[in-house]
Structure 1
Amino acid sequence: MTLFNLAKKNITGNMKNYLLYFFSMVISVVIFYTFNSLLYTPEITDAVPQMDSSMSQTSYMLIAFLIIFIGYSNAFFAKKRKKEVALYSLLGVRKKLIARMLFFENIMIGVITLLSGLILGVLLSRLSILLLLKLLGAPVVVNFSIPLEAITTTTIVFAVITLFTSLQSYLLIYRFKLIELFHADHKGEKVPRASLVSATISIILLASSYWLMFNSMAMLSMPLIIIGTYLLFRSLTVYLLTRAQKNKAKYYKGINIIGTSHLLYRVKGNTLMLTLIALLMTVALPYLQAAFSEFSTTEKEAHQAAPFSYIHLSQDDAFDTHVHRIISGDKAHPITDQLDIPVIQVKGNTSAPFQDNNDLIVNLISEQTFHNMKTVLDLGDIPELSGDQSIAFKYYINEPVAEFASKKLNVQLPQGEHTFTLNSLEKKGITLTSGSELLYLVVDDTMFHSITEQVSPITYKAYKVENEKTTKETSENLMKLGENDTQIRTFYDRYKLFQALSGMKIFVVSSLALVLLAATGSVLYFKQLTEAHSDRNRYEILRKIGVSRKEIRMTISKQTLFVFILPLLIGILNAGMLTFSLVLQYNMSLSQNINSFVLAITAYGVIYIVYYVLTVSSYNRIVNQ
């Protein structure tokens, strides 16, 4: 019982140091419990069929990241406690008892964070469900419940992680000699040498990785980014700091000499940490940006996938009349436009660089039909066609448009092959059916009608109505007709599907980003506080020789800003290059993606500022009070 009380007293005495660790861990428990509770809420899983796979994958990612974070944080605490452990040993406390005390401390911390996280998770689960349903646009009533399966899963996962870190603490006293424990805070690092060659290589590697990104080779660029980012922190930062030392006017102004020398002295110890944080941002920011962008363009994407409010393949007069009766009977959504779209489906081949150009499925539509539907589909104008002239429409094309001009396209007809000349390719999609994007060929009216004498066209009947985002009942009635292999597509159905997918994505990505921010911010915080305890005696000497507390605080603020802002800037640079290379590659809206990227950066920046302020305040309290 005495050992337990001692462990409890140690935790209470170190509460200020443990506070951010508690905060980060509680957030992790809350989010992990939330994901698992959603998996065991029937109303949610029924409303979102893809919930199971999305949440399960996210949970695995979260577990992997938490193991790294907790292990990293535990290493910082272990280093800080080494001198304390050595003192217990010097006073005659047996190693076995010290190991047990450290083990109990870690177990107690784990239990407290787990219980706090579960309580908060249960209390906030209702809010999480409401937020998710709002993002998904799913009008589902969910009764309050506490899934025992979610509590059990969360408890098992965090108990295993806590047990692992507790064993690490238990073995601390056995891993080091007594003299090593006493001098853990005094172990220095050699001042690294500035290498202009290595710094140049880091810039070349990063520039090469960006070149690969903008040339559709993003995966190949990843190794170069990892190595280049590491060398950037390892060499370029050293080079910049040594250059700052040579700027005598600034270097000897105030106590800049102290801040610069301290940063230079700590570069080697911070290199791996800063590299990891920058690389995590490199990956996390594009995902967060993509989630924001996708959610904000849900309606636009739905219009691209289903440009008409309703469209179906004509079958017979009875079926067509029945569909028309359902649509026209919805008085809240009157018909604004109605089209018949005849399409001739044939096979063909071409020398133009289409995928599968020797076995093409070609959909022919007449010039008149194109003009009838171009406003709805936002296709723009085309030049007047005659004879064998044609214009191809296909959105997902990687080759330059100029490669398609004047190429021949042969279509197979019952009476023989017919050859069209491609005037141009328009990188715009004509979407009438579900499935993969089809190639559409606009041809002269006379030519189209002559081909109908050999091949009977199929006809799509398309409708445009007012307020199509609210056509739930009519859409559901029509989709029931489509259960018998009838090609029916509604805008409402596509819109709700895209809203669910983008809502799920932004919920998952934002949750992971929150954990990532809390964890990486805490790692920086712990690292700086570890250094603060090591440097306390040095700052006491500065105060004794006349350096004011204000000057010391200013130096702390500058050197802490350097450590916080470096991974943020490099992470933003890498992520920005990756994001906008994909934007250009897939011809996405530049302005929309810039806005989403700025929003993602702002979210990260605001939270990092909070951690920066907390770190400066805690660092100053340790060395400057």
Structure 2
Amino acid sequence: MNNHLLSKLAVSGIQNNKKTVFPYIGVSAITVMLFEILRAMIHSRYIINDGVPAFYGANYIVIFLMIGSAAVAFFSAIFLFYGNQFVMKSRKKEIGLYGILGLSKKHVTVVLLIESLIEALASIGLGIIGGAFLNKLMVMFLYRLTHQQPAKGFEFPVAAFVETFVFFMAMFALCLIYNLFTVRVGKPIELLKSENTGEKEPKVKGVLLVVGIVCLVLGYYIALSTEGTFEAMGNLMKSIALVMIATYALFVAGSIFVLKLLKKNKKYYFKTKNFISISNLLFRMKHNAVGLASICILSTGVILLMVCSGALMALGEQNINSMFKQDIMIRTYGDSDSLSEDYCMNVIEKAFNATGIETDDISYREYVTTSCPAETNKLLPVENKSDMYDFEHMRVVYFMTLDNYNHYVGTNEKLNAGEVLRYSSIDKFECDDVVSIFGKDYVEKNKIDKDSIENIFDPTMTLFSKEVIVVSNEDVMKQMSEDSGFYGEEGKSIYMGFDTDEKITDSQLEVFSNVINTDFGIYTDVMYKEQQRSYFYGILGGAFFVGIFLAILFLIETVMIIYYKQMSEGFEDQKRFKILSNAGLTEKEVKQAIRNQVRIIFFLPVITAIVHMLVASKILRLFMNMLVIVDTPTFFLATLVVCLIFVGVYTLVYKLTSKQYYNIVYGAEADEKSIKGNRNYNNNSNYSQCDWV
């Protein structure tokens, strides 16, 4: 048999199965496009130009893009194999017919090779072309997210093209190997009869049911019982893994168990609509439980990613203003003799004269800082270095003398021996409570006015709880510093900050920093709020950008699974509907039963996904505290908005795919007849022929 005939068979095979092959090519092309865009941006000169970041925070964005491209590659491989399996499942009968007509396995191999090559080139070609056109648009979108000026010019990174082409050609090659193995193992007669194999009612898989329940309880317990940020870092992935296992196990075994219980309820089961629905659902869940669980997991992923990304961006400016109270913040460390308030002010004045920066007010704070583990109302001394790695209980402590506090705040507080003023970001206490500080008990005479001293908090220490302790004099503060242990070194920290009406240029900031660093020494850090804003949005923008890409990928694959599931169920239900009609059930009764089971199958994954998200909200907020200060109302508002949008999109997708399902079950001619019959039927009742779709 010549290659020309085999090529025609391959092309005709694709055309005859266009309802399954074309969506597969389309979804594959979009997947290729997403991967190509991410790889192109990694190599883009608009982000990293000759090894130099194009803007503040660009190096962090590249890290996020690399993580995102790896995630897209991983999930793309899974989805390509899933789509390929469905395409092959619908073609087994046709391939079996090839064998009956005399084609050898070698000839079938050539046909499948040509088909795979056409699918691969079409998917990769369309994906790369789409990625090339959208790449500049995505760069502009990223620049908008990170508050950068629009970039000019167009580029096509060759490295990204090569990486994309090689990776996806390898994926399609693996799919081809799987297809060839399936065909060579099977016999033509078996392939022809694959759709007519008899089925037994599914049995409850007891072990899998128990595993699902145990994993779900453990996963939910971990998510709800987690209290600290560092605890959340370790527990989040454990919780996600357990809930994923539980979702698959309970959809496969739990759904059959519940349906079996309903079947045993004779009063409920032996009603026409319930009898048909439960009987059909038992067989549907047997075949589609894994697909429904996958839809649930992907839906959870989409909601989770969009909630995190949306909340991060919504909290951006709020976090900038919380962490950087003033336009310029200077922190330095030194011994008590070399640093005085007059000396520090003279250095600042010198820097002002060198740069032309002007300000009306300069904040000055002098304190001693240390880190230590803690319990409720108890600060513990550091006894060994390992204590400093107990991040779950770590606190940053700022000590200040009473004279300095009164001077900074403008109060006239007084303290007796054994009394302190205190602020704690985590402990709730009342005046006259007792706090243990490094083994000694002190009475908390009053709470500190947080607003007047909160600019001393180091914004890089957002992960740790904070304490401010005001003591009666220098001697007490020095003794506390020594008692703190490993990090209780003698010395003091200085904070200076000011606001300015005019934007500071890069050259001014460089000169200002040089003067400050020269006079204060190497332990000095100068932070400019606008510069930190660029870093901040660089990190958040990169995370948000990659989160959107992954959410789009998951949403697309969710649509693909719903579409293929509708197609698969349509072919399976086609014969069942015919049998039910022949058994004497009216069309209205059949459609009522089908409408009920369609609603169950439709709502089950998305409702479960929303429940997963709500349970995960606590541990997710704690995890996000590593990046930003999470405002609970903003987080839950983002959750509500994302859930509503997702349910709307999900419903729209399902309605669109249901039309395809309807056409498969009834056929085009039957569809026309049903529409005509529906017009006559509606003259006598309000029932709509197509309500169940």
TM-score range, shorter chain: 0.7 to 0.9
CA-to-aligned-CA distance 1:380-408 (integer Å, 9 cap, x gap)? x999754442244454x6x8879x95233
173-182 or 602-611: which moved more? 602-611
Which of 37, 50, 67 aligns to 1:34? It is 37
SS in 1 for 2:91: helix
What is the deviation of 1:553? 5.7
Q: Which residue of 1 aligns with 2:688?
A: none
Segment drifting more, 58-67 vs 163-172: 163-172
> Partner letter of residue 133 of structure 1?
Y
Is 2:43–2:157's contact at 8 Å kept on the other side of the alignment?
yes
Q: Is the 8 A contact 2:366 2:494 kept in 1?
A: yes
The answer to whether the aligner puts 1:135 opposite 2:141 as a matched pair is no
User: Among 4, 8, 17, which residue is 2:11 paired with?
Assistant: 8
C-alpha displacement of 1:497: 1.4
- Counterpart in the other structure of 1:529: 567
Partner of 1:621: 663
Distance 2:409 2:220 in 1: 38
Contact 2:61 2:538 in 1 (8 A): no
Compute the displacement of 1:614 (Å): 2.7
- 643, 649, 669: which one pairs with 1:601? 643
Amino acid at match of 2:303: L
Question: Could you say which residue in structure 1 is the equivalent of 2:62?
Answer: 52
User: Is the counterpart of residue 363 in structure 1 residue 398 in structure 2?
Assistant: yes
What corresponds to 1:407 in structure 2? 435
> Tell me, what secondary structure is at the counterpart of 1:442?
strand
Structure 1 residues 62, 133: CA separation in 2 closer, same or farther (over 3 Å shift)? Answer: same
How many pairs align?
604
Amino acid at match of 1:90: I
Aligned partner (choices 14, 19, 23) of residue 20 of structure 1: 23
Partner of 1:77: 87
| 2:531 aligned partner | 493
Q: Which residue of 1 aligns with 2:652?
A: 610
Relative distance call for 1:488 and 1:372 in structure 2 (3 A) is farther
Q: Partners in 2 of 1:131 and 1:577 — Cα distance?
A: 32
In 1: Cα distance, 2:449 partner to 2:257 partner: 48
Deviates more, 1:544-553 or 1:515-524: 544-553
| Counterpart AA for 2:437 | L
Partners of 1:86 and 1:178 within 8 A in 2: yes
Of residues 410, 419, 433, the one that matches 1:389 is 419
1:65 aligned partner, one-letter code: F
Query: What are the superposed Cα offsets for residues 90-120 of structure 1, whole Å, 9 maximum, x if unpaired?
Result: 1222222122212211221111111111111
Instruction: Provide the C-alpha distance between the structure 1 equivalents of 2:265 and 2:371, rounded to a whole number of angstroms.
Output: 73
In the alignment, what sits opposite 1:300? 318
1:340 corresponds to: 364
Against the structure 1 CA distance between its residues 361 and 246, is the aligned structure 2 distance closer, same or farther, given a 3 Å change threshold? closer
User: Which residue number corresponds to residue 285 of structure 2?
Assistant: 267
Once the 2 structures are TM-superposed, how far is the Cα of residue 123 of structure 1 from its aligned partner?
1.1
Amino acid at match of 1:516: F
**Contact conserved, 2:36 with 2:160, CA < 8 A, in 1?**
yes
* Partners of 1:289 and 1:600 within 8 A in 2: yes
SS in 2 for 1:93: coil
Q: Which moved more, 1:22-31 or 1:538-547?
A: 538-547
CA separation of 1:77/1:201 partners in 2, compared to 1, >3 Å: closer, same or farther? closer
For 1:535-554, list aligned pairs within 5 A: 535-543=573-581
Instruction: Return the offset for 1:171.
Output: 3.0
Partner of 2:495: 460
Report the Cα offset of residue 218 of structure 1: 4.3
Contact conserved, 1:392 with 1:425, CA < 8 A, in 2?
yes
Mapped contact 1:206–1:225 kept (Cα < 8 A):
yes
Alpha-carbon distance in structure 1 between the residues aligned to 2:590 and 2:446: 69
Identical columns (%)? 21
The equivalent of 1:320 in structure 2 is: 348
The CA distance in 2 between the partners of 1:81 and 1:198, in whole Å, is 32
Distance 1:503 1:349, change over 3 A: closer
Give the TM-score, by structure 1 length: 0.84
The residue correspondences of 1:421-460 to structure 2 (distance < 5 A) are 421=443, 431-433=456-458, 435-436=460-461, 440-443=467-470, 447=473, 458-460=493-495
Aligned partner of residue 362 in structure 2, secondary structure:
strand
Give the aligned partner of residue 414 of structure 1.
none
Counterpart Cα distance in 2 of 1:223 and 1:272:
16
2: distance between equivalents of 1:298 and 1:565? 34
Q: Which of 141, 163, 166 is matched with 1:153 structurally? A: 163
Q: Does residue 579 in structure 1 map to residue 617 in structure 2?
A: yes
Residues 6 and 111, structure 2, Cα contact 8 Å, conserved in 1? yes
What secondary structure sits across from 2:498 in the alignment?
strand
Letter in 2 for 1:259: S
Report deviation, 1:222.
4.6
Taking the TM superposition and a 5 Å limit, the aligned residue runs for 1:147-186 are: 147-186=157-196
CA shift in 2, pair 1:166/1:311, >3 Å: same
Normalising by structure 2, we get a TM-score of: 0.76
What is the alpha-carbon distance in structure 1 between the residues aligned to residue 7 and residue 517 of structure 2?
66
Please, which of 58, 73, 86 is the counterpart of residue 96 of structure 2? 86
8 Å contact 1:136–1:499 — kept in the other structure?
yes
5+ long unaligned stretches in structure 2: 227-234, 333-342, 385-394, 482-489, 668-693
Q: 1:199 touches 1:232 (CA, 8 Å); kept in 2?
A: yes
Give the secondary structure class of the aligned counterpart of 2:39. helix
User: C-alpha distance in 2, partners of 1:424/1:584?
Assistant: 30
Higher alpha-carbon deviation: 201-210 or 519-528: 201-210
Cα RMSD of the aligned pairs, angstroms, is 4.0
Counterpart CA distance in 1 for 2:400 and 2:38 is 48
Distance across 2 between alignment mates of 1:550 and 1:207: 42
Shift in CA distance, 188/545, structure 1 to aligned 2, threshold 3 Å: closer
CA contact (8 A) 1:83 1:183 kept: yes
Amino acid at match of 1:462: G
User: What's the CA shift for 1:309?
Assistant: 1.8
Opposite residue 299 of structure 1, the aligned amino acid is E
2:352 and 2:512 in contact (8 A); partners too? no
CA drift at 1:477: 5.8
Which has the higher mean CA deviation after the structures are superposed, 587-596 or 78-87? 587-596
- Cα contact 1:549–1:624 (8 A) shared by 2: no
Q: Deviations over 1:403-454 (max 9, x none)?
A: x95233259xxxxxx985556898986644464469553325x525996999
Question: For the structure 1 residues 207 and 347, does the alpha-carbon distance in structure 2 shift closer, same or farther, using more than 3 Å as the test?
Answer: closer
**Amino acid aligned to 2:643:** I
Q: Residue 420 of structure 2: SS of its match in structure 1? A: strand
Deviation at 1:373, TM superposition (A): 6.9
Cα offsets for 1:357-394 (capped at 9, x unmatched): 4489853224575578789xxxxx99975444224445
Shift of 1:188: 4.6
Cα drift, residue 567 of structure 1: 2.1
Once the two structures are TM-superposed, the CA of residue 584 in structure 1 deviates from its matched residue by 6.5
2:312 aligned partner, one-letter code: E
- Contact map agreement 1:385 1:443 (CA 8 A) in 2: no
Distance 1:275 1:424 in 2: 55
Q: AA paired with 1:533?
A: F
What do residues 206-251 of structure 1 show as CA deviations (whole Å, max 9, x unaligned)?
Answer: 2343222222254554554244323422343224334544677876
> Are 1:363 and 1:438, in contact at CA under 8 Å, matched by a contact in 2?
no
The structure-2 alpha-carbon separation of the partners of 1:122 and 1:348, relative to structure 1 and needing over 3 Å to count, comes to closer
Unaligned runs of 5+ in 1: 376-380, 412-417
Paired residues of 2:95 and 2:191 also in contact (CA < 8 A): yes
Aligned twin of 1:43: 46
Secondary structure of 2:399's match? strand
Q: 1:162-201: per-residue Cα shift (whole Å, max 9, x none)?
A: 1111222233321212232112112354323458998687
1:236 to 1:170, Cα distance in 2 relative to 1, 3 A: closer
Q: 1:107 aligns with which of 113, 117, 136?
A: 117
Q: Deviations over 1:33-56 (max 9, x none)?
A: 110111111121222012332222
